[in-house]
Amino acid sequence: MSDNEQAEAAEDAEAEAEDAGTEEATEEVTEGIQDGDFVKIAYTIRTADDGQVIDTTDEEIAEDAEIDTEEYEFEPRTIAIGAGHIFGTVEDELIGAEVGEEGVIDIPAEEAFGEYDPEEVETVAADKIPEDDRYPGAQIQIDQRQGRLETIIGGRARVDFNHPLAGEDLEYEYEILEVIEDREEKAKGLLGMHLQEEPEVRIETETVEEENEEGELEEVEQESLYIEATPQMQMNQQWMFQKQQVAQDLMDRLDLDRVVIEEVIDGGGMGGMGGMMGGMGGMGGGEADLEEALEEADVDAEELVEEIDEE
């Protein structure tokens, strides 16, 4: 074999080795949890310096930390990798991980809630603060900024607008429990991250008519996510203001055509009125029933019935 042939053979072998290495590296990257996956995870977040629990999915840990266990539900959460539901440092660690893995991830302050900024401590006029909140330690809002009242003297108040955990390094203890494949479970988990509750949902395939490029109507199938809005959701300001954004997030991540929100109103204090109006609408109960209903409503029944008969 000539020197040129040997050189060419060596180059070919090197190229094959590089290709094999690239394929192996690609396989390694695509193994385990990936961007876009939905993962059920149990976790506890603590401050690194003193171990203060700031968030957890474990009720016993919450009780030990004297967190109000009646106000919140403590159970594993479903998160969408790449959706910004968790700290970026944690997402990076979870990429490529497998179900069953657990560990502790260190999160530096600048990647958690930011470094503490002394310039975020400002003096403001005391009359900007409601009288009931004029005491040291009160959480207040001024000009749409959240802060903590440090001191108040006369007509001036010192307010710290830093996040309460600014400057704190954190420890994120976790266990990966499951990769969620069911799309309805994914939808519930995504809603849970936005709303702190998981309403009932269902995905339905429906046939609808749409106009094609030629302007003709044709039947196409589309998938709709139906969300049964709970009373808590209907009172949730975040849901009220971000409903469109949440719906778009659901459609993008779950490859849906539309989101339908069903608001259910249960019978309650207006039940009697509802029954009365139902009878009036159909008139199937006859004049006697109508007169009885109108008497209960303190209306002159005879006069109204005569007007109806004349019509």
For the ranges 133-147, 244-258, 277-291, the lowest mean pLDDT is seen at 277-291
Mean pLDDT of the 214-236 span: 86
What's the rounded Cα separation, in Å, for the pair 99 and 47? 26
102-122 pLDDT tens trace? 999 999 999 999 999 999 999
What's the rounded Cα separation, in Å, for the pair 51 and 63? 15
Domains of the chain are 38-112+168-177 (3.10.50.40), 118-160 (2.40.10), 189-263 (no CATH), 271-310 (no CATH)
For the ranges 117-126, 206-215, 229-238, 295-304, the lowest mean pLDDT is seen at 295-304
176: amino acid identity, one letter: I
Considering the entire predicted model, what is its pTM? 0.67
Handedness of CA 303, 305, 310, 311 (dihedral sign): positive
- Inform me whether the pLDDT recorded for 26 exceeds 50: no
Q: Average pLDDT of the chain?
A: 80
Mean pLDDT of the 39-43 span: 95
> Minimal CA–CA distance to 133: which of 153, 149, 156?
149
Mean pLDDT of the 178-192 span: 92
Greater confidence (311 vs 156) lies with 156
Question: What CA dihedral angle connects 76, 80, 86 and 88, to 10 degrees?
Answer: 140
For the ranges 27-36, 138-147, 152-161, 179-188, the lowest mean pLDDT is seen at 27-36
Handedness of CA 242, 248, 249, 250 (dihedral sign): positive
- For the chain, percent of residues with pLDDT exceeding 70: 75
- Tell how far CA 102 is from the center of its chain: 24
The confidence score (pLDDT) of residue 300 equals 52
DSSP-assigned states of every residue in 162-185? S-TTTT--EEEEEEEEEEE--HHH
The confidence score (pLDDT) of residue 279 equals 36
- Inform me whether the pLDDT recorded for 146 exceeds 90: yes
Contacts with 194 (C-beta within 8 Å, 6 or more apart), sequence order: 238, 239, 242, 246, 249
Which two three-digit tokens encode residue 26?
């690609």
Residue 174 backbone dihedrals phi, psi, to 5 degrees: -145, 160
pLDDT bucket at 14, cuts 50 / 70 / 90: low
77-95 pLDDT tens trace? 999 998 888 999 999 999 9
Residue 196 DSSP symbol:
S
Residues paired with residue 161 on neighbouring β-strands, in sequence order: none
Mean pLDDT of the 184-196 span: 87
